[in-house]
Chain A
Amino acid sequence: MAVQVNGAPVAIQAGLSVAGLLAQLALDTRKVAVERNREIVPRSQYGETRLAAGDEIEIVHFIGGG
């Protein structure tokens, strides 16, 4: 199945968690924040939050800004 990550489709295994998605993308969970269908996913819930087909995921981090 596929989810949208930052506006682009990403193929994942059915039942993958947010933690699993971040691992698949090789992202450090300590440096990002995640929104699933416009709701914040608290870091403490990455493991138990399962993704569904078509979920819209935003993964953000801090970059240089003024």
Chain B
Amino acid sequence: MDGSLTTDDGWSVAGRKFASRLIVGTGKYKDLPTTAAAIEASGAEMVTVAVRRVNVADAAAPMLQDYVSPARYTYLPNTAGCFTAEQAVRTLRLAREAGGWNLVKLEVLGPAPTLYPDMQGTFEAAAALIADGFEVMVYCADDPIAAKRLEEMGCVAIMPLGAPIGSGLGVQNPLMIKMIIENAKVPVLVDAGVGTAYDAAFAMELGCDAVLVNSAIALADDPVLMARAMKAGVEAGRLAFRAGRIPRAAVASASSPMTGLIR
């Protein structure tokens, strides 16, 4: 045994190393204790967070940081709710001051019902953030040309959607995700659309570096159990990718030898 079965091969982004290939969101949970328990069960080392006004009328209300310690988890602040480059830069400058780091998740979304990445807005905001010294992990369309352009601009990770945010439909366009992965020199993560552990495993089997999951865990009947399932799914998918799957064939191939049969 060379240890490769037990040692996760890990991945890195912007010079930071992570053993877990599952990043989890902290939104949509019914309460903060459930958030904390599910994240613990997921084994994730990085969590996405949003930046919002403090409710000054209720300063004693518990805060996310009381349950999900930034000392233990790498916070990845997002730009949810920002529709322009200016809003994104302003929001993440505040996040940088609150958290003291440069690694961020850029997402510029179009309107409901698609919430599809607004790529024009994404390009503009990415340029502004990179110019301001941020290390940008970027949520984007499953478009190999756009993905390459974001990488060339200096984004540190490319995060195409598997399916619309919160849809739970799984990876709808595996061909394009695979093309993005094969062309990228920076980590590629499937962000959005994962519905259950199978989808996370499937994304990892395509060869992506990590998967980002929020709704599928937070809104499951038992978020802690689903978090554990996602951890297992991501690990299984990664191992299968490394192992190398057999070719698909249109004909059967017997598993048992046809020689030495009793007569």
Among A26, A33, A42, A43: residue with most chain B CB under 10 A:
A33
Q: In the complex the two chains form, is B63's CB within 8 Å of A31's CB?
A: yes
Q: In the complex the two chains form, is A27's CB within 8 Å of B29's CB?
A: no
Can you pick out 20 interface pairs between chain A and chain B where the beta carbons lie within 8 Å of each other?
A6-B53, A6-B56, A26-B59, A31-B63, A31-B65, A32-B98, A40-B97, A60-B52, A60-B53, A60-B54, A60-B95, A60-B98, A62-B70, A63-B64, A64-B28, A64-B32, A64-B64, A65-B80, A66-B165, A66-B215
Contacting residues of chain B (65-98) with chain A, CB-CB under 8 angstroms: 65, 70, 75, 77-78, 80, 90, 93-95, 97-98
Q: A6-B53, A38-B90 are in contact. Are A61 and B78 (CB under 8 A)?
A: no
Contacting residues of chain B (36-72) with chain A, CB-CB under 8 angstroms: 48-54, 56, 59-60, 63-65, 70
Q: For A65, list chain B residues within 8 Å (CB).
A: 25-27, 48-50, 78, 80
Q: For A26, list chain B residues within 8 Å (CB).
A: 59-60
Contacting residues of chain B (200-247) with chain A, CB-CB under 8 angstroms: 212, 214-215
B196 CB–A CB distance under 8 Å: no
Q: For B192, list chain A residues within 8 Å (CB).
A: 66
Interface flags for B125-158 (1: CB within 8 Å of A; 0: not) read 0000000000000000000000000000000000
Q: How far is the CA of A18 from the CA of B33 in the complex (A)?
A: 31
Q: For A53, list chain B residues within 8 Å (CB).
A: none
Task: State the B residues within 8 Å of A (CB).
Answer: 25-29, 32, 35, 48-54, 56, 59-60, 63-65, 70, 75, 77-78, 80, 90, 93-95, 97-99, 165, 192, 212, 214-215
Q: How far is the CA of A60 from the CA of B92 in the complex (A)?
A: 11
| Interface residues on chain A, size class | 20 to 34
Q: For B93, list chain A residues within 8 Å (CB).
A: 40
Q: How far is the CB of B33 from chain A (nearest CB, A)?
A: 12
Main secondary structure of the interface of B (DSSP, over half): mixed
Task: State the A residues within 8 Å of B (CB).
Answer: 5-8, 10, 25-28, 31-35, 38, 40, 42-43, 58-66
Kindly identify which residue among B59, B70, B75, B165 contacts A25, using a CB–CB cutoff of 8 Å: B59
Q: A26-B60, A40-B93 are in contact. Are A64 and B53 (CB under 8 A)?
A: no
Q: How far is the CB of B29 from chain A (nearest CB, A)?
A: 6
Besides A25-B59, A27-B59, 19 other A-B contacts (C-beta < 8 A): A5-B56, A25-B56, A33-B94, A33-B95, A33-B98, A35-B90, A35-B94, A58-B53, A59-B53, A59-B54, A60-B52, A60-B53, A61-B98, A62-B51, A62-B77, A63-B63, A64-B28, A66-B78, A66-B80
Kindly identify which residue among A38, A42, A59 contacts B56, using a CB–CB cutoff of 8 Å: A59
Q: For A8, list chain B residues within 8 Å (CB).
A: 56
Kindly identify which residue among B27, B97, B99 contacts A64, using a CB–CB cutoff of 8 Å: B27
Q: How far is the CB of A44 from chain B (nearest CB, A)?
A: 10
Q: How far is the CA of A34 from the CA of B51 in the complex (A)?
A: 12
Closest to B97 in A: A33
